[in-house]
Structures are given as structure tokens and as C-alpha cells.
Structure 1
């Protein structure tokens, strides 16, 4: 089932999400719905707060980025090619590494706004998969960036928080319009009341 994406301005996007265990109700269905919602919205990642659930769960598919780059004829070599697809439950950062690098990011909860954001090259995460098997794994390149973006969601942080104050001020009207639901997108959204 395709779920509505929670828009900027909704309180759940600013909450630190809670860990869950295998007894979480209908978790497999929720994960399935998150994949369907992400793909139908043309996203490469989706965190539970974006569908109004304050739990430490996100899904990513950075393989989509590489497929799109190839379709556009771009031959950029990132260290994580061909990408990674996976479910992350109760993720916690162990270590950030490498240099910071800039990449143009967007967010399903903040539609029609894209900005260059600086993030570290790699992230080591401890997390559980959909079967609650524990993993400690290092990701880099585009995949690390997607993970860090989604990880921020479960920490109550948004990509626009990395912008300089002047840039955020310049975006204020657009952000206010999103909060008020004055935006047209081709996927379902839920707006703060």
C-alpha cells in the first residue's frame, strides 16, 4: 500500500525515533509498504518518520541512482557502484570517516527544494536487518550519503539543517508553502494541521 509522505512542518520529522524489537506490530507489512511508497515517489530512501512513524527504521536503494546516471549517459565512478539496497532497523552510527564532499540533495518531505550538502565520505553503522540479524558495516560514496540522509530523519534532523542561515532565510517562503500544503507533487502527501 502506498502511504502518504509527511510534509515539512510535521512534528514527527523533528522527533528522535525509538528503537523497536521483533514484536513491533505488522513490521513486514510496514517495510513492504515503505518500499512501495518510496518507489512510487521516485525516492532512493525512505525513513519511518516520513510516513508518520517515530521508529528507527529506514529503507534505501542507492542502486536507483546508478541506474539513472547510466540512463542519462553519465560515466561517473563512485566507490560504492552499483549501490546497495537494504532495510535498516535500530541503526546507530559507529564512525564517520573520510573527507566531506558536496552533493545535491532533495527530500520527499521537502519537495521541489534541492541543495548542495556536505557530508562525510563513509559511515560505519550498527543496525539490524528485517530479520533482526545484527550487522556492523561500513558504507561509502553515494550509498553512505543516502544512509546519512535517512539516518538524519530518525534523529529528527533534515538536510536543510546543514544550510547556512542566509540560505535557509531565502528558502523560508518555499518551506512555509510546503507546511501549508501549497505545493503540487505527483505522490501522496500528509500536511501538518
Structure 2
């Protein structure tokens, strides 16, 4: 596995070694020992999630203010533009974001540590999105930041349509009013 820091060094692009030929391909989608080495410490995952979304669905920017989740995300069908926003007030990259295209063909994964808001938009006709989390889902502590907040200035890709949002995401907090981490 190859781990490449993004502009926010704690957020990593993980690229597995893919072995392919005319029959198809094989790769290790997760190896605890290699992952721990890549992030520099041991990480326990407690839950695996799978979502399927149509083109234009935008999910996020989500986080849990209590029981913050680290997420290892990937796409197994389709393509998304995936975003992590640093919401740790003590961080030198507070309020900054990184975005990475994750596709079924590039096999890239994104490590989004706890302390970040996370979201994605589907850029293909549909996408199957898988992610591991370091904490269990805690709906009472779930928060969302407005996906198009001008203070964040996220450059979402042009998908030729307005994004489709859940009611929760459409009513998300502006960044300046969002609960953040110390």
C-alpha cells in the first residue's frame, strides 16, 4: 500500500497494490498492519458501512461531536468527489479542506481522521461507497456543516445538475455557527 499525505497531512490517500491481468484484478482492500504503519499508530475500526447513491447525490458534510469517527472510505462501483474539512480549532489547517476523486477504477481510499467533517458527491450514474469507522454511529451527536458554505469555499465538481440533498443536509449549519473540536 502507498499512503500519500494531502495538503492536510493527517488526511491520507491510500493506494493499494493492484494485481491485474486479462481475468480481472486482486488487491488487499485493508491490511491492519500496513494501515497502522501508514498512519503512524494503531487504529481500531468498529463498523463497516455501505451506501449506494444516484448521480448528483451529495452527502455531508457530516461528523459526530461526541464519539468522533475516523473514516477509511472507498468506492467499489462508480465515482465520487470526496471531501474532508478540518474542524479542529487548534489545528493550523482549521477550516481548510481537501478533495479527492475516488473511483472503482483508481481503487484509491481516503483516510479521514476524527476531527474532520466529511462529505461526497456522486459524479457517475450511481456509486457504491464503503467506509470503515473508528466509532459507532451516534445519531444524537451527529452534526452537519453546509456543503456550500462560502467560508469553506469547497470547489465541488460541475456535475451538470444541482446536488440532491437530504433534508438534514439542506438545513446544515454554516461553518461559523457549527460545533467544532478544540
Fold-level match, TM-score > 0.5? Answer: no
- More helix by proportion, 1 or 2? 1
What TM-score do you get using the length of structure 1 for normalisation?
0.25
Normalised by the size of structure 2, how large is the TM-score? 0.26
Greater share of residues in strand? 2
